[in-house]
Structure 1
Amino acid sequence: MLVLNPGFYEPPSLMAFLRNAAPLVVLAIGQYFVIVSGEFDLSVGSLVGAQVVIAAKLINGEEDRTWPVIALMIGFGLLVGLVNGLVTTLLRVPSFITTLGTMLVLYGAIRLWTGGAPTGALSETFRQWGRMGIDMPVLRQLPYALLIMVALAVVGILVMRSSYGRVLVATGDNDTAATFAGGRVWIVRTGAFVLSALFATVAGILVGGFAGVTAQVGQGMEFTAITAVVLGGVLLGGGRGWIVGAIAGALTYQLLERLLVQLDMPSTLNPTIQGVIIIAAVAFAANQSRMRRGSRTTAPQTPAEPQPVGAA
């Protein structure tokens, strides 16, 4: 990157990169909670798009509506996460199917509500979180999105260092063992979906800072977030991976996209890269699972005690 764009590591350019990467990083942190628990959340991309469209239609350019609408967005996001979690844990519907259904429901409901053409406008107070920042001498501007990203990363690290985080990882590794150890698996996993939806809502607020209010907002972000998480070394299937790795994976993926732009590669190549990374991650996860099962079933053989010569 330094060879292709020598000015990339200059403070203003680096701040712009981190500002643009913030929504994906926030989304990846939320996706991490679900994946490390052994589940998937395919609804976050549609949730991001739905939140932006809802905000634009309800705010409609009125500044005084901004904060009530943001509060409504947070409540809506928590509700979506709670439904995903309860359907997955209590009704025993696989999370892949649950969140795929939620993705389609959100996609269709928003288009039905808006008539297929999103209307309204976001206020400047709403947009500032994704596009503005604090003016500074050297950096030129410290983006609000970067500050929000760092704050949520700290929150995520603290969550994973708590007893909840330890049970979450244990649940992804072996939910039966976690249950026998006294962990409330269904509550822990439901909480992971709620956190994922909450972080997706924040990502939607940040995306609203620079994206237009269109039907394509958030489209495909769920797969990008999953790709970023597995790129950071988080094991699909749960039980392995560090939240800092998920953050690093999101930044790496964003950097990879920037590199493709510098190389004049078509943006249509991005889904191919995502597919290769996900297939490799699934293959690695399957291999790790076989190795763990093998290590548990193969017990060391105790050598037979030698018999005295001539013993009957």
Structure 2
Amino acid sequence: MTGMPVTGAWRRVPAIWLVLLIVTAVIIWRNPSFAEPVSLLTFLKRSAPLIVLTAGQLFVIVTGEFDLSAGALITTCVVVAAKVSAGDPALTWPVIGLLALLGAGVGLVNGLVTTLLRVPSFITTLGMMLVLNGAVFLWTGGSPTGSLAPEFRQYGRETGYAVAVTAVVVAVAWLLLHRSRFGHLALATGGGTRAAALSGVPVARMRIIAFVISGLSAVVAAILLAGFAGLSKEAGAGYEFQAISAVVLGGAVLGGGRGTAGGAVAGALTLQCLFTLLNLLGLEKPLRDTVQGVLIILAAAFAAYRLRKEQ
């Protein structure tokens, strides 16, 4: 009888999927109704913004950079959509187009400042986060006004739409990273900037495109989040750190050169499952933030250890 031994097959399964399986099993043990189809689909709907944002953050990280402005961009998109459309259904698609331009523009600025001016992306995107948060506060006076039309909110409110949009984003991310020349060049960019440049890889262009992808993913995440969370001045608060956590948990290496779309999705789902479990246990948000910080440190340490071991 031929084939891969069972133990060998298990070793090829990324660890994050096993962690996801264990955490899900614990949730079902604590709350059996979680295993029902309706509950699982609702969970996927609420996980959709993080999954989409994580897919965009993945491209930035594999090219060796960070994007800390994604959460602020989500908030900005939600506030702009409500303010501009004022609940008018006829403005749904024009507003979505405006948000796409905003997301691409923010990503482009992040990329240009990081590559042409050679400002570390950590500083660049931290500055952009402060700019966006300040602009939203000045524009709204700290109290966002306007409303979101049902036609705008349906993509995040209705489970079918949210799951479908997320599936499309994940599929595009997987094809782009693992089945295209762009993905090969992106991984090469993060694997070694100097070596990639000497090999003819357009390093600056790859990083700029990665930031634009991250900006557009924040726009999609904002639309999905607005669907079930509505208008809030803190709509995207903390999402940038959750996305980075998910990417690292999924096996990507901080510094670039390694990462998979499947691992990033598993990381996002695992993080969302952990938050669900902490809520079931009655633990408060500060502890959830502590757990997230510990996970980032442990995941980064494990990734660094694995990389050293393979060298």
TM-score > 0.5 by shorter chain: yes
Counterpart of 2:147 in 1: which secondary structure?
A: coil
Q: State how 1:245-260 maps to structure 2 within 5 Å.
A: 245-260=263-278
Counterpart of 2:201 in 1: which secondary structure?
A: coil
Equivalent residue letter for 1:144: Y
Question: 2:149 aligns to what?
Answer: 123
| Unmatched segments (≥5 aa) in structure 2 | 1-26
Matched positions, count: 284
Question: 1:273 aligns to what?
Answer: 291
Equivalent residue letter for 2:109: V
Question: 1:224 aligns to what?
Answer: 242
Q: Deviations over 1:124-160 (max 9, x none)?
A: 0001000114xxxxxxxxx211100000111001111
- Larger helix percent: 2
Q: Mark the structure with the bigger radius of gyration.
A: 1
Question: 1:132 aligns to what?
Answer: 158
Distance in structure 2 (CA, Å) of the matches to 1:36 and 1:269:
29
Aligned Cα root-mean-square deviation (Å): 1.3
Distance in structure 2 (CA, Å) of the matches to 1:251 and 1:53:
27
Asked if 1:111 corresponds to 2:137, the answer is yes
State the percentage of identical aligned residues.
Answer: 55
Asked if 1:45 corresponds to 2:62, the answer is no
Question: 1:238 aligns to what?
Answer: 256
Question: 1:156 aligns to what?
Answer: 173
Given that 1:236 and 1:281 are in contact with CA atoms closer than 8 Å, whether structure 2 keeps it comes out as no
Q: What's the CA shift for 1:290?
A: 5.2
Distance in structure 2 (CA, Å) of the matches to 1:284 and 1:290:
10
Given that 2:253 and 2:304 are in contact with CA atoms closer than 8 Å, whether structure 1 keeps it comes out as no
Distance in structure 1 (CA, Å) of the matches to 2:125 and 2:150:
32
Equivalent residue letter for 2:230: G
Distance in structure 2 (CA, Å) of the matches to 1:243 and 1:194:
17
Counterpart of 2:30 in 1: which secondary structure?
A: coil
Q: Deviations over 1:57-105 (max 9, x none)?
A: 0011111111111100001100000000111111100000000000000
Q: What's the CA shift for 1:262?
A: 1.2
Asked if 1:176 corresponds to 2:194, the answer is yes
Distance in structure 2 (CA, Å) of the matches to 1:196 and 1:289:
25
Question: 1:4 aligns to what?
Answer: 30
Asked if 1:22 corresponds to 2:48, the answer is yes
Q: State how 1:47-126 maps to structure 2 within 5 Å.
A: 47-126=73-152
Q: State how 1:184-195 maps to structure 2 within 5 Å.
A: 184-195=202-213
Counterpart of 1:116 in 2: which secondary structure?
A: coil
After TM superposition, the runs of 4+ consecutive aligned structure 1 residues lying more than 6 A away are none
Q: What's the CA shift for 1:33?
A: 0.4
Q: What's the CA shift for 1:284?
A: 3.5
Given that 1:235 and 1:281 are in contact with CA atoms closer than 8 Å, whether structure 2 keeps it comes out as no
Distance in structure 1 (CA, Å) of the matches to 2:308 and 2:274:
31
* Residue number among 210, 216, 230 corresponding to 1:198 in the alignment: 216
Q: What's the CA shift for 1:281?
A: 3.1
Question: 1:309 aligns to what?
Answer: none
Question: 1:146 aligns to what?
Answer: 163
Q: What's the CA shift for 1:215?
A: 1.3
Q: What's the CA shift for 1:289?
A: 5.8
Given that 2:251 and 2:303 are in contact with CA atoms closer than 8 Å, whether structure 1 keeps it comes out as no
Distance in structure 2 (CA, Å) of the matches to 1:205 and 1:84:
21
Asked if 1:207 corresponds to 2:232, the answer is no
| Unmatched segments (≥5 aa) in structure 1 | 134-142, 296-312
Question: 1:303 aligns to what?
Answer: none
Q: What's the CA shift for 1:182?
A: 0.9
Q: What's the CA shift for 1:212?
A: 3.0
Equivalent residue letter for 1:153: V
Question: 1:34 aligns to what?
Answer: 60
Question: Taking structure 1 as the reference length, what is the TM-score of the superposition?
Answer: 0.88
Distance in structure 2 (CA, Å) of the matches to 1:224 and 1:247:
12
Counterpart of 2:227 in 1: which secondary structure?
A: coil
Q: Deviations over 1:196-236 (max 9, x none)?
A: 00001000000110113121110111001111111111111
